[in-house]
């Protein structure tokens, strides 16, 4: 017992606010156009998820599908693309953006100070799931924001959905969504849930989450770092200053 | 060295039996391949461990396309074949005669009868209608016996799986698991894909075993391409693979504490894992060490300053981790829960071909790094910890010992990498179509075996993955009965099996 206390005292408080720790230099985050694109197409044929969209003289990256592998950058001979450490990529869906201000304010008022989340894996590789688990570690300490994971969809305000929707989990996805009381929010976590394209087409995959249920927040990444998830959560609750 | 034997399907059992009796760790993998477009035949492949460090035995049995789509089951002589055969039956429609349990495994009640997605004439874009069948679960019968269904969606942040407990009061008398919920059909999506692109899908079979999957994949490719990777790449790969083992084991020690409500252990384990994940990202740009291992070598170098950072982090972490372990070792309430709980007997572990931590906690002394050395492990010194009691405690202490051993290997690499030549990668030449290769690695959960057959233009014809969790899932249903239901989460966590690795 004494040893336990000593360990607790010696460790002290390790919890930090979500964006204080700097991103390591090598961190692979958002890919963006850095220089004039020559439209040669090398990037788009190198991309394993079809995330590169080639315009007439520019290139855009579908952040939702990008797995941040950096293949496109290696393939580009013109140095037109660049990888940054930016992880603040969470975006609200049109549905949430276009919702009347009053309604939005109401949701934020209802859920904003204490949000209960249910995790739902509909076909992930478990990397996203582990990052959700990491949110609860003493360093990120999700509860400091009044946010927590709950055991049942019936206690939840939000679903954080990970993975491409597999054939074998479609029913579970629909039933879990049904079980969450209104008003509810859905976050598509990671490239699989957000785009459904990580593995291409298969007899066992049905696509992204928004094919089946309305999604309010997309948080890209493969997997999104815990800080990216926190950014997405706070963004949804209108708490990003 | 792989010794190949090709036999007709009628001789499969005899040939398999001969190899099995000569093998040290039994059946490593069994799968089918639709080779009708090449030679008009289906093939069943069985890979057995050989007797010595260098040897693996591969039996290939061919079934003519006009013959009945069936083969003699190996399960009566080799229990480890059971799930492999059910999978072959599901995906290829090749029936193992004499296998008494042919319930579906991979394809659930939503899949129509008679559609076999891994056959070559099944177009991956086919829209398969939704069937409404029953999924038969096994249960115990008797007076007072009742069932507890759990999942597929669990209360914690856990991957999906459905468990059906047959209970006599608090005691579990039988457990059946319905898995493959996260089955994504990755083996099919890889077919026809150039290896360069396939790498990214293989890396995403499982998050927690990303490195191990890319290692097995890359080594399989390198073996068919006959490429020897540069020395520096070997050492960096070992370092990365051991970092994967370390963060998994440290995290799992913490998670196990969550299984019995010891909060100090849980949060310390989670904190230490977080520091390791941050180190991973500093080194490779990804917290799961993704993007480092590629066929031919490694993608990025680890320069001196990063190596120094590894050494410093590991030194600090080790002290911290040992303090955590001492809290567990000296806590009687904790020990009461983990000792003698969830025993997997040696004999069962052996017959089911259990691998990794679960095997080494039940006295099965087998580790691919030492017993089938690959990728430079033959040149380094390390111990393979072994425990014999087969309970939750044994699996915990194996993890603790292996985590500490991993820190030693990492330190060896930190001193050896700087002095090796700078080269990181060899190009992959054009590979002979229809040549086959095996790649393997010891993931944090055990042996991870990949097999591939190539086609033209360095594309994949067929890919098969036997992850560690694949080998170990059936063992859970042996270790659980006889325990009380509240101990299931603890036993389950002590095996720490990936669903994604199994389901693919
Ligand atoms: S980083 Fe990878 S996934 Fe993202 S756009 Fe580039 S090639 Fe595609």
A75-96: burial string, b at 16+ Cβ within 10 Å, e else: bbeeebbebebebbbbbbbeeb
Cα of B356 from ligand 1 centre, angstroms: 34
Residue A241 has pLDDT above 70, yes or no: no
A60 shares a domain with A126? no
Residue A194 has pLDDT above 80, yes or no: yes
Confidence class for position A112, pLDDT limits 50, 70, 90: low
Report the residue among A30, A42, A49 best suited for mutation to probe ligand 1: largest number of ligand atoms under 8 A from its CB: A49
Residue A99 has pLDDT above 80, yes or no: no
B103-120: average pLDDT = 91
Q: What is the pLDDT of residue B136?
A: 84
ipTM over 0.85: yes
A229 shares a domain with A123? yes
Residues B451 and B190 sit within 8 Å (Cβ to Cβ): no
Tell me whether residue A13 is in a domain.
Answer: no
Q: What is the pLDDT of residue B189?
A: 92
At B133 the three-state DSSP class reads coil
Q: With contacts defined as CB-CB under 8 Å, which chain A residues touch B184?
A: 123, 164, 166, 199, 202, 204-205
Of A84, A45, A118, A34, the closest CA to residue A221 belongs to: A84
Rounded to whole angstroms, how far apart are CA atoms B164 and B318?
A: 40
B429-440: burial string, b at 16+ Cβ within 10 Å, e else: eebeeeebbbbb
Residue A97 has pLDDT above 80, yes or no: no
Rounded to whole angstroms, how far apart are CA atoms B396 and B358?
A: 10
Residues A167 and B124 sit within 8 Å (Cβ to Cβ): no
Beta A217-219 vs A185-189: how paired, if at all?
parallel
Best interface-test mutation with B: which of A3, A16, A126 has the largest number of B CBs within 10 A? A126
Note whether A211 contacts B: Cβ–Cβ < 8 A.
no
Considering A143-157, B98-112, B229-243, the range whose residues carry the highest mean pLDDT is B229-243
The count of CB pairs under 8 A between chains A and B is 181
Of B145, B165, B444, B493, the closest CA to residue B341 belongs to: B493
A172 shares a domain with A70? no
pLDDT tens track for B294-324: 999 999 999 888 999 999 999 999 999 999 9
Residues 64-93 of chain A whose Cβ lies under 8 A from any Cβ of chain B: 67-71
A197: left (phi over 0), alpha (psi -120 to 50) or beta: alpha
Rounded to whole angstroms, how far apart are CA atoms A51 and A34?
A: 17
A76 shares a domain with A123? no
Confidence class for position B139, pLDDT limits 50, 70, 90: confident
Q: How much of chain B, in percent, has pLDDT values that exceed 70?
A: 100
Q: What is the pLDDT of residue A228?
A: 94
A199 shares a domain with A105? yes
A126 shares a domain with A105? yes
Residue A189 has pLDDT above 90, yes or no: yes
A122 shares a domain with A68? no
- A79's CB contacts (< 8 A; 6+ apart) are A34, A35
Contact A134/B270, CB-based, under 8 Å? yes
Enter the tokens of residue A9.
């005292």
Nearest to B286 among A28, A119, A176 (CB): A28
Answer whether the bond into residue A183 is a cis peptide, omega within 30°. Answer: yes
Q: What is the pLDDT of residue A76?
A: 86
At A143 the three-state DSSP class reads helix
List, chain by chain if needed, residues with CB within 6 Å of any ligand 1 atom.
Answer: A 31, 46-49, 51-52, 61, 66-72
Boundaries of domain holding A142: 91-237
Give the global pTM: 0.92
Average pLDDT, whole number, for chain A? 88
Rounded to whole angstroms, how far apart are CA atoms B376 and B385?
A: 20
pLDDT tens track for B420-430: 888 899 899 99
Tell me whether residue A4 is in a domain.
Answer: no
Q: What is the pLDDT of residue A66?
A: 93
Whichever domain contains A36, its CATH number is: 3.30.70.20
A192 shares a domain with A115? yes
Tell me whether residue A24 is in a domain.
Answer: no
Confidence class for position B29, pLDDT limits 50, 70, 90: very high
Residues B208 and B468 sit within 8 Å (Cβ to Cβ): no
Rounded to whole angstroms, how far apart are CA atoms B346 and B150?
A: 28
Residues B30 and B37 sit within 8 Å (Cβ to Cβ): no
Q: What is the pLDDT of residue A81?
A: 87
Confidence class for position B50, pLDDT limits 50, 70, 90: confident
Enter the tokens of residue A218.
């997309």
Q: What is the pLDDT of residue B402?
A: 96
How far does the CA of residue B51 sit from the closest CA of chain A (Å)?
A: 34
- In ligand 1, the atom with minimum distance to the C-alpha of A68 is 1
The total domain count for chain A is: 2
Tell me whether residue A5 is in a domain.
Answer: no
Rounded to whole angstroms, how far apart are CA atoms B21 and A123?
A: 39
A164 shares a domain with A76? no
Q: Considering only alpha carbons, which residue of chain B is nearest residue A197?
A: B201
A29-45: burial string, b at 16+ Cβ within 10 Å, e else: bbbeeeeebebeebbbe
What residue ranges define each of the domains in chain B, with the CATH number in brackets?
Answer: 2-132 (3.30.460.80), 193-490 (1.10.645.10)
Given A58, A83, A108, the domain boundary residue is A83
Of B119, B154, B148, the closest CA to residue B34 belongs to: B119
Given A59, A83, A107, the domain boundary residue is A83
Q: What is the pLDDT of residue B365?
A: 92
Nearest to A172 among B125, B160, B499 (CB): B160
> Is pLDDT larger for residue B87 or for residue A109?
B87
Report the residue among A41, A44, A47 best suited for mutation to probe ligand 1: largest number of ligand atoms under 8 A from its CB: A47
Given A49, A66, A83, the domain boundary residue is A83
Confidence class for position B70, pLDDT limits 50, 70, 90: very high
Distances (CA, A) of B439 to B47, B63, B98, B199, B428: 12, 25, 31, 13, 16
pLDDT tens track for B437-480: 999 999 999 999 999 999 999 999 999 999 999 989 889 888 99
Average pLDDT, whole number, for chain B? 91
A203 shares a domain with A138? yes
Cα of B237 from ligand 1 centre, angstroms: 23
Q: Kindly report the protein residue whose alpha carbon is nearest to atom 2 of ligand 1.
A: A69
Confidence class for position A10, pLDDT limits 50, 70, 90: confident
Whichever domain contains A113, its CATH number is: 3.40.50.12280
DSSP letter string over B62-131?
EEETTS-SEEE-STTT-GGGHHHHHHHHHHH--EEET-S----SSS-TTSPTT--TTSTTS-TT--PPPP
Nearest to B330 among A3, A152, A164 (CB): A3
Of B74, B18, B85, B81, the closest CA to residue B51 belongs to: B18
How far does the CA of residue B142 sit from the closest CA of chain A (Å)?
A: 31
Residue A11 has pLDDT above 90, yes or no: no
Q: How much of chain A, in percent, has pLDDT values that exceed 70?
A: 95
Tell me whether residue A25 is in a domain.
Answer: no
A194 shares a domain with A117? yes
Tell me whether residue A35 is in a domain.
Answer: yes
Nearest to A127 among B186, B207, B284 (CB): B207
DSSP letter string over B191-247?
TT-BHHHHHHHHHTS-STTHHHHHHHHHHHHHHHHT----HHHHHHHHHHHHHHHHH
A154 shares a domain with A68? no
Tell me whether residue A79 is in a domain.
Answer: yes
Tell me whether residue A15 is in a domain.
Answer: no
Rounded to whole angstroms, how far apart are CA atoms A122 and A195?
A: 13
């Amino acid at each position: 017992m004494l040893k336990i206390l000593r360990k607790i005292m010696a460790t002290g408080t390790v919890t930090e606010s979500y964006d204080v720790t700097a991103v390591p230099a090598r961190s692979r985050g958002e890919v963006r156009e850095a220089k004039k694109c020559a439209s040669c197409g090398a990037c788009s044929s190198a991309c394993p998820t079809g995330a590169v969209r080639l315009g007439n003289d520019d290139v855009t990256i579908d952040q939702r599908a990008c797995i941040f592998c950096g293949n496109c950058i290696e393939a580009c001979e013109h140095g037109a693309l660049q990888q940054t450490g930016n992880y603040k990529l969470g975006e609200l869906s049109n549905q949430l953006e276009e919702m009347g201000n009053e309604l939005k304010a109401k949701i934020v008022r209802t859920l904003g100070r204490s949000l209960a989340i249910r995790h739902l894996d509909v076909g992930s590789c478990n990397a996203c799931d582990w990052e959700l688990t990491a949110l609860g570690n003493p360093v990120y300490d999700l509860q400091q924001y009044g946010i927590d994971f709950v055991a049942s969809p019936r206690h939840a305000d939000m679903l954080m959905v990970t993975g491409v929707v597999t054939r074998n989990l479609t029913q579970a996805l629909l039933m879990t969504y049904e079980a969450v009381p209104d008003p509810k929010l859905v976050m598509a976590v990671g490239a699989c849930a957000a785009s459904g394209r990580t593995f291409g087409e298969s007899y066992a995959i049905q696509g992204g989450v928004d094919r089946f249920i309305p999604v309010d927040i997309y948080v890209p990444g493969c997997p999104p770092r815990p800080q990216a998830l926190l950014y997405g959560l706070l963004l949804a609750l209108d708490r990003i200053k | 060295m792989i010794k190949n034997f090709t036999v007709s399907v009628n001789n499969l059992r005899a040939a398999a039996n001969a190899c099995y009796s000569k093998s040290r760790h039994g059946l490593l993998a069994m799968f089918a391949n639709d080779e009708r477009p090449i030679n008009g035949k289906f093939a069943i492949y069985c890979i057995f461990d050989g007797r010595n460090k260098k040897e693996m035995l591969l039996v290939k049995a061919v079934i003519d396309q006009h013959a009945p789509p069936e083969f003699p089951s190996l399960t009566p002589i080799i229990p480890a074949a059971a799930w492999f055969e059910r999978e072959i039956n599901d995906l290829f429609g090749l029936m193992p005669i004499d296998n008494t349990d042919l319930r579906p495994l991979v394809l659930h009640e939503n899949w129509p009868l008679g559609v076999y997605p891994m056959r070559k004439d099944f177009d991956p874009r086919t829209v398969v209608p939704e069937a409404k069948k029953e999924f038969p679960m096994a249960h115990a019968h008797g007076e007072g016996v009742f069932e507890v269904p759990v999942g597929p969606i669990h209360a914690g942040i856990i991957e999906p799986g459905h468990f059906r407990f047959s209970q006599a009061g608090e005691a579990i008398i039988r457990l059946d698991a319905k898995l493959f919920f996260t089955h994504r059909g990755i083996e099919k999506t890889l077919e026809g894909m150039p290896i360069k692109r396939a790498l990214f899908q293989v890396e995403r079979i499982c998050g927690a075993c990303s490195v191990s999957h890319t290692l097995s994949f890359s080594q399989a490719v390198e073996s068919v391409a006959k490429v020897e990777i540069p020395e520096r790449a070997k050492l960096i790969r070992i370092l990365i693979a051991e970092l994967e083992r370390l963060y998994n084991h440290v995290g799992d020690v913490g998670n196990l504490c969550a299984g019995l409500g010891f909060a100090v252990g849980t949060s310390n384990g989670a904190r230490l894992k977080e520091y390791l994940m941050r180190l991973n990202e500093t080194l490779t740009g990804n917290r799961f060490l993704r993007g480092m291992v590629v066929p031919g070598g490694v993608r990025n170098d680890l320069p001196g300053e990063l190596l120094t950072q590894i050494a410093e982090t590991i030194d600090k972490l080790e002290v911290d981790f040992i303090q955590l372990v001492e809290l567990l070792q000296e806590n009687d309430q904790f020990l009461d829960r983990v000792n003698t709980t969830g025993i997997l007997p040696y004999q069962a572990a052996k017959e089911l071909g259990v691998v990794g931590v679960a095997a080494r906690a039940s006295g099965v002394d087998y580790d691919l790094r030492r017993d089938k050395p690959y990728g430079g492990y033959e040149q380094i010194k390390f111990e393979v910890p072994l425990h014999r009691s087969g309970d939750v405690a044994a699996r915990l202490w194996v993890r603790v010992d292996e985590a500490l051993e991993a820190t030693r290997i990492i330190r060896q690499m930190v001193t050896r990498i700087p002095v090796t030549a700078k080269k990181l990668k060899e190009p992959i030449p054009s590979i002979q179509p229809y040549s086959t290769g095996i790649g393997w690695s010891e993931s944090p959960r055990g042996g991870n075996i990949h097999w591939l057959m190539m086609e033209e233009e360095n594309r994949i014809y067929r890919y098969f993955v036997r992850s560690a969790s694949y080998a170990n899932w059936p063992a859970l249903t042996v270790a659980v009965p006889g325990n009380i239901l509240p101990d299931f989460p603890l036993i389950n966590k002590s095996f720490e099996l990936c669903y994604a690795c199994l389901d693919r």
